[in-house]
Amino acid sequence: MDQNNWIYLVLILLVLGFGVGVVVAGRRRGGSTNPASARQQAVAEPQQGQAPLAAAVEPSVELDDAADVTADEISDESAEAEPVEPAAPTSMRDRLARARGAFSDAIGSVLGRSAIDDSVWEELEDALLIADVGIGVATSLLDPLRERVDTGDIDGPDALIAALRESMITQLAGANRELAMRPDEGTSIWLFVGVNGVGKTTTIGKLASRQVASGSTVLLSAGDTFRAAAADQLQTWAERSGAEIVRGADGADPSSVVFDAVERASAKRIDLVLADTAGRLHNKQNLMDELSKVRRVAEKGSGVVTETLLVIDATTGQNGLAQAREFAAATGVTGVVVTKLDGSAKGGIVFAVETELGIPVKFVGVGEQVDDLVPFDPSEFVDALVSN
Ligand SMILES: Nc1nc2c(ncn2[C@@H]2O[C@H](COP(=O)(O)OP(=O)(O)OP(=O)(O)O)[C@@H](O)[C@H]2O)c(=O)[nH]1
Ligand SMILES: [Mg+2]
């Protein structure tokens, strides 16, 4: 090596030595040249006696989303987030904002009148029809009120709106909205039926959480063997709620899955089986026959179907009534869950189902999260709907 090469080599070594010195000094000060990678390292490799950063964070994200949260996001939250007051529970009134929209305009307008004339009746009828109560229910609500106005029993717009609210509550009064369990007769089974995408699986997940929280042991039966992802979706809810799950092979006979689920539940003395089924069109006879079979087979072992719950999407409006008729004929529906009331201007399907078919609405879905399923309460519902 000649003299120039030696000089170059010495210079390179000097530069490298300086660089290493700077990095080591930075580390000693507790700093890092790359804070993100340092945080990731802390999450991945906690020091002895030190909790990993991820574990120090409340799992405020739902399980589905958890996989998408990077270590960076988690540690940023834990380092910087101020303690947050839990949000006040959203009222029924707020959750039904869209459905109320149709009514509140009409009611505001009626209340602004000095007398009850034809246009008042038109406005109220339009509001009821937009809410999709159906013409039969609208007439049964308004006709008696017309008579009371004629006789002078109702003497002005304020009294008319108050009387309408009362009549709506009365129409929904008296139904038994309990979800039945009959432990003396074996494992209770709640079977969930309905057309595609209405919210059956989500409702099962929400109800499983409620039942587990109230002290029941619960097993979910993944009877939708039609789509591979359906059982995975139910499994996620089982993990969230602390329920067990029985799955069948893809494409397996849905009756065999519910049979196995009930056998497992009764062997383990589990109180309740929540049985999912694939969504199906109510006018496809073979699919409705399959459902009748699922219901029959569910009771072949030591379980009893104490509820067959039809799930209806509020946004489908009056079509929900046709669905209810067919499903009731095939499976003996004992109750309805109306979902997606949070995003619908058509809360009126509740009236149509109850008054025309006599099937009680037992729960309503008002969002996608686990707590967004509430027992149906007529006065709360009507007050939320008919207020200005
Ligand atoms: N906004 C809102 N969305 C809901 C509600 N209930 C269910 N969903 C959503 O509706 C979609 C369909 O829900 P699923 O539970 O998969 O419906 P499903 O009836 O099991 O569907 P299939 O099994 O395909 O027939 C999902 O995105 C749910 O999060 C609700 O009350 N409100
Ligand atoms: Mg489903």
Consecutive 10-residue averages of pLDDT for the chain (388 residues):
68 63 42 34 32 29 32 37 57 79 81 92 92 91 97 95 95 95 96 96 98 97 92 96 94 95 97 96 90 96 96 90 92 95 85 90 95 93 81
Sheet holding 361-365, edge to edge: 244-247, 218-223, 272-277, 187-193, 303-313, 335-339, 361-365, 373-375
For residue 198, the CA-to-ligand 1 centroid distance in Å is 5
Who contacts 244 (Cβ-Cβ below 8 Å, separation ≥6)? 218, 219, 220, 238, 264, 265, 268, 270
- Whole-number Å distance between alpha carbons of 256 and 22: 69
Give residue 178 CA to ligand 2 midpoint distance, Å.
23
- DSSP characters over 255-318: HHHHHHHHHHHHHTT-SEEEEEE----TT-HHHHHHHHHHHHHHTTSSEEEEEEEEEEEGGGTT
* Domain encompassing residue 130: 92-172
Kindly report the CATH number assigned to the domain that includes residue 165.
1.20.120.140
Same-domain pairing of 208 and 117: no
DSSP code for 333: -
Radius of gyration (Cα) for the chain, nearest Å? 30
**Within-domain flag for 64:** no
Domain presence at residue 142: yes
H or E stretch including 363?
Answer: strand 361-365
DSSP percent split of the chain into helix, strand, coil, nearest 5: 55, 10, 35
Q: Are residues 162 and 292 in the same domain?
A: no
Cα 59 to averaged position of ligand 1 atoms, centre (Å): 23
In a domain, 19, yes or no: no
Residues 6+ apart with CB under 8 A from 355: 136, 137, 140, 171
Q: Are residues 225 and 373 in the same domain?
A: yes
241 touches 212 (CB < 8 A): yes
In a domain, 45, yes or no: no
With a Cβ cut-off of 6 Å, ligand 1 is lined by 194, 196-202, 224, 230, 279, 339-340, 342-343, 365-368, 372
The bridge status of strand 373-375 relative to strand 361-365 is antiparallel
CA-nearest residue for atom 4, ligand 1, is 368
Domain shared by 120 and 256, yes or no: no
Q: Is residue 367 part of a domain?
A: yes
| DSSP bridge pairs for 311 | 337
Distance 1 CA to ligand 2 centre (A): 76
Q: Does 204 share its domain with 316? A: yes
- Closest C-alpha residue for ligand 1 atom 6: 199
How far, in Å, is the centroid of ligand 1 from the Cα of 284? 21
Does residue 243 share a domain with residue 339?
Answer: yes
What pLDDT, on the 0 to 100 scale, is given for residue 323?
92
Those residues with Cβ within 8 angstroms of residue 128's Cβ, 6 or more apart along the chain or in another chain: 137, 138, 141, 142, 348
The H or E element spanning position 3 is helix 3-28
Same domain, 121 and 191: no
Among the three residues 149, 172, 195, which one is the final residue of a domain in this structure? 172
Number of domains composing the chain: 2
In this structure, are residues 218 and 270 in contact, taking their beta carbons and an 8 Å threshold?
A: yes
* Residue 262 CA to ligand 2 centre (angstroms): 19
Q: Which of 107, 142, 172 is the last residue of a domain?
A: 172
Is 350 exposed, middle or buried (CB count within 10 Å of its CB: 0-12, 13-18, 19+)?
Answer: buried
Closest ligand 1 atom to 233 CA: 16
Question: Would you tell me the crossing angle of helices 378-385 and 157-172 to the nearest 10 degrees?
Answer: 150
* Domain finish residue from 147, 172, 197: 172
| Closest atom, ligand 1, to C-alpha of 367 | 32
User: Do 209 and 254 fall within a single domain?
Assistant: yes
pLDDT at 85: 59
Q: What are phi and psi of 348, to 5 degrees?
A: -65, -15
Choose one of 192, 361, 368, 372 to mutate for the ligand 1 pocket test, by most ligand atoms within 8 angstroms of C-beta: 368
Are 222 and 319 within one domain? yes
Ligand 1 atom closest to Cα of residue 364: 31
How far apart (Å, rounded) are the C-alpha atoms in residues 11 and 5? Answer: 10
Instruction: Flag whether 79 is in a domain.
Output: no
- Under DSSP, is residue 221 helix (H, G, I), strand (E, B) or coil? strand
